[in-house]
């Protein structure tokens, strides 16, 4: 990929730039906890974005998206916003840096990525983080890493129209090879935890169902509202820190649906902490058990699964897979699987064959390795 980028950069701009990269991400456990003030547990992966960049001495950005074979030029003022969706990410990063007092100018860039689109691995966060990190370096802006993540998040909010949380950009910026990160979404404190499944006889693989169910209404907002209603009854801002005992005590004051939503979230907070403790002991069996609990909690209590994802989790269990669950918001997408190496080939073959027989197409296998986040490449 780097060679292809360099060749295109040379042909477009007749010069050479510097290379920067950032990563997509997985989230091992901790779904729908961010907006409840809870914990998430992501890691950067070995798939992401790479960009070659060179300052051009003008006030214009000249950008080429290699994967789309599209070129775009734009200025750095608010009225210069490009129409192409991919270019708005780069423009948004530039504008968010400027809003924070960063002085930047025009540059030339060619970029490409290998994050599978639509698989819930945050290709957009990888793109934002690549350019936020690069521009911070190239213009010596001195912006700290947390603010780089916030620049990516603000780009989504203000220039793409997605009101995302901070997890994706955080993972892309702070990613560290061989480690997952427990992020406290209330305090923004975080801690690295060693995660080297390959050194312990395991592999991590995503199975992309290639399914995305469109649901009528606003299912994410509905669930968030449920959580907020229960938190209010408990006298809290968020569900974070609530106990099952507290929930049971107010069960007659809330709807059955709100009760189930809150039961999932309160359980998920404990599962994240259990997984962190288990990893410190190298106890991957407990990690896997909690992953299955998360899946069925998301399926039965939070109701964000779908038939196809439940099927993949069931096949995983039948194949002896240590852990399997929905990854992401739900209603389609991927399962993330923690598999012993000796069971891996049989699991993949069985899952593909069984899924294809039932649904008419195979799920896509996406092996992942936990890697570094935003960085300059040699």
**Alpha helices, H only, the chain:** 2-13, 85-99, 123-138, 145-155, 167-174, 219-233, 244-249, 256-280, 284-296, 307-318, 341-359
Q: Catalytic residue, from 168, 198, 258, 301: name it.
A: 168
Token couple for 7 = 């060749």
Residue 184 appears among annotated catalytic residues? no
- Of 110, 130, 162, 126, nearest to 6 (Cα)? 110
> Token digits for 8?
């295109």
State both tokens at 150.
Answer: 């916030």
First to last CA, the chain: 14
Sequence-separated (6 or more) residues with CB below 8 Å from residue 181: 41, 42, 43, 170, 171, 174, 175, 190, 191, 192, 193
Could you give the strand order of the β-sheet that contains 179-184, starting from the edge strand earlier in sequence?
A: 39-40, 179-184, 190-194
Helix (H) or strand (E) holding 364, with range, is: strand 364-368
Q: How far is CA 186 from CA 95, 165, 167, in A?
A: 27, 12, 12
Instruction: Provide the strand spans (E) within 173-216.
Output: 179-184, 190-194, 202-212
Positions marked catalytic: 168
């Amino acid at each position: 990929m780097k060679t292809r980028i360099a060749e295109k950069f040379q042909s477009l701009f007749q010069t050479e730039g510097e290379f920067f990269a950032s990563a997509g991400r997985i989230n091992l456990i901790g779904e729908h906890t961010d907006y409840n003030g809870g914990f998430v547990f992501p890691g950067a992966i070995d798939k992401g974005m790479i960009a070659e960049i060179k300052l051009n001495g003008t006030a214009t950005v000249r950008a080429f998206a290699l994967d789309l074979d599209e070129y775009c030029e734009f200025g750095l003022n608010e009225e210069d916003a490009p129409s192409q969706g991919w270019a708005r990410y780069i423009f948004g990063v530039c504008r968010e840096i400027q809003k924070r007092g960063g002085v930047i100018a025009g540059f030339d860039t060619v970029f490409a990525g290998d994050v599978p689109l639509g698989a819930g691995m945050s290709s957009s966060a990888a793109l934002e983080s690549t350019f936020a990190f690069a521009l911070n370096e190239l213009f010596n802006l001195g912006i700290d890493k947390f603010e780089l993540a916030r620049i990516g998040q603000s780009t989504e909010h203000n220039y793409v129209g997605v009101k995302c949380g901070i997890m994706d950009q955080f993972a892309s910026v702070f990613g560290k090879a061989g480690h997952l990160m427990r992020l406290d979404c209330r305090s923004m404190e975080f801690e690295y935890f060693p995660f080297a499944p390959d050194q312990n006889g395991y592999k991590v693989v995503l199975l992309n169902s290639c399914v995305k169910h469109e649901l009528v209404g606003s299912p994410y907002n509905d669930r968030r509202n449920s959580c907020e209603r229960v938190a209010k009854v408990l006298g809290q801002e968020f569900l974070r820190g609530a106990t099952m005992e507290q929930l049971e005590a107010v069960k007659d004051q809330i709807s059955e649906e709100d009760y189930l939503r809150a039961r999932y979230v309160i359980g998920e907070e404990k599962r994240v902490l259990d997984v962190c403790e288990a990893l410190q002991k190298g106890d991957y069996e407990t990690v896997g058990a909690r992953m299955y609990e998360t899946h069925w909690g998301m399926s039965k209590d939070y109701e964000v699964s779908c038939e196809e994802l439940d099927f993949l989790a069931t096949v995983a269990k039948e194949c002896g897979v240590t852990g399997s669950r929905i990854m992401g918001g739900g209603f389609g997408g991927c399962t993330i699987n923690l598999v012993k190496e000796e069971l891996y080939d049989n699991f993949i073959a069985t899952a593909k064959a069984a899924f294809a027989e039932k649904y008419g197409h195979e799920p896509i296998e996406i092996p992942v390795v936990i890697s570094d986040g935003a960085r300059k490449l040699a």
